């Protein structure tokens, strides 16, 4: 079974990196670099998993997860941020959502995806690789 994933981050590099990690495992990836694109996709397509940054211009990741939570088919949600203060606030504002602080390793990412979806496809050579997933400019 192939899971549909929406990846939302205003930093195109993060969308590309997460896509590069998930595609070899059979995940079907859609990326958005603006919240308006993500809203449009969420309203017209069914996704199994939403991976979103918390700090974005316009609609924040908080707003996006709240919208996703009101859909008839609510996707599993993973929020990612480099801002620890935002991550500490997340459990107060978000329910049934997993959070991950940048930078993180592939093992951390895989554990969150497995926890949310109940699966991680069979072994792949990249699985042992450590990826410091951080913004090249040192910002989120």
49-103, pLDDT tens digit by residue? 999 998 888 888 888 988 998 899 989 999 998 887 766 665 565 567 888 888 8
- Domain boundaries of the chain, sorted by first residue: 4-128
29: which DSSP letter? E
Distance (Å, whole) CA 89 – CA 85 = 6
Distance (Å, whole) CA 39 – CA 61 = 11
The CATH code belonging to domain 4-128 is 3.40.50.2300
Within 13 A of 38's CA, how many CA atoms are on the CB side? Answer: 31
Over 90: is that where the pLDDT of 36 sits?
A: yes
- Selected residue with higher pLDDT from 95 and 38: 38
| CA-closest candidate to residue 60, choices 30, 34, 99, 29 | 34
Average pLDDT of the chain, as a whole number: 82
């Amino acid at each position: 079974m192939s899971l549909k994933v929406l990846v939302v981050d205003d930093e195109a590099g993060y969308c590309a990196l997460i896509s590069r990690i998930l595609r070899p495992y059979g995940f079907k990836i859609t990326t958005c670099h603006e919240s308006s694109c993500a809203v449009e996709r969420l309203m017209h397509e069914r996704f199994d998993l939403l991976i979103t940054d918390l700090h974005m211009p316009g609609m924040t990741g908080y707003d996006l997860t709240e919208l996703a939570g009101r859909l008839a088919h609510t996707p599993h949600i993973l929020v990612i941020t480099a801002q620890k203060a935002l991550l500490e606030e997340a459990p107060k504002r978000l329910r049934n959502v997993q959070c991950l602080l940048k930078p993180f390793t592939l093992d951390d990412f895989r554990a969150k995806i497995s926890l949310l979806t109940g699966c991680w496809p069979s072994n792949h050579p990249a699985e042992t690789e450590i990826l410091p997933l951080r913004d090249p400019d040192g910002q989120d």
